[in-house]
Homo-oligomer: A and B are copies of this chain.
C-alpha cells in the first residue's frame, strides 16, 4: 500500500483547493480571485497550488467524475438499444454528482455567472467526451463507428443541458432529467432524418 494513502491524500488536497477556489469565486467573482488567495485559504503555498492545477479556472472547474467502471461494463455488454442502455450509464454518472449535490449546484451557479469559466469547463468536458467516445465505440457497428466522436459530443452536450436544469431545480428527480435527455436525443434522431 505504498501509493494508496498518498493518492488519497493528494485527492483530498486537490479537493480542498477546489472548494476554496469555488468559495472565493462565489464571494468575489472570477476576476477578483487570485491563485494566491486560493492557496492561502486552502492552507498551502502558492507553489503547491501549481503542483495541483495549471490555473485558477482549472481549480474551480476541477474534473467531472468518470463513468463508473461497473456501469461501463454493463453498457458495453448491454442487450437493449443504444439509447436504452445509455440510460443506465447516465444514471450511474448522475448519482455521483447527486452525492455532492451542494457543490454541484454551486458550480453550476458559478458557471452561469462567470463566462470566463466556460473554456476551462469545456476543456474538462473534452476528457469526458474522449472517455464516452471509447465506450460508445464498443457498441457501434463498423459502418457507424466513425460517428463515435460526434455521438459522444451530442450525448455530453445533452448531459450538460440536463445538468443545468436538474441541478438548479430542487424538486427535480434524477430519472426525470435523464429521461428528458434521452427523449431529446430520440427527437434529434427524427430531426436529422
Contacts and interface: CB of A to CB of B under 8 A. Distances in A.
Interface of A: 82-83, 118-120, 122-123, 126, 140, 144, 146-147, 149-151, 153-154, 157-158, 161, 184-193
A193 B189 contact: yes
Given A189-B190, A192-B189, A150 B144 contact: no
Contact of A119 (B119, B157, B184): B119
A172 B186 CA distance: 33
Count the copies: 2
A193 B149 CA distance: 17
Given A119-B119, A154-B154, 18 more contacts: A118-B123, A119-B122, A119-B123, A140-B191, A146-B184, A147-B184, A149-B157, A149-B161, A150-B161, A150-B184, A151-B192, A153-B153, A153-B154, A153-B157, A185-B192, A186-B193, A188-B189, A190-B193
Contacts of A154: 150, 153-154, 157, 188, 192
Contacts of A144: 187, 190-191
19 contacts: A82-B191, A82-B192, A119-B119, A119-B122, A144-B187, A144-B190, A147-B187, A147-B188, A149-B161, A150-B157, A150-B161, A150-B184, A153-B154, A154-B192, A186-B192, A189-B189, A189-B190, A189-B191, A190-B193
User: For A119, A151, A189, A191, which residue has the most chain B Cβ atoms within 10 angstroms?
Assistant: A191
A144 B191 CA distance: 8
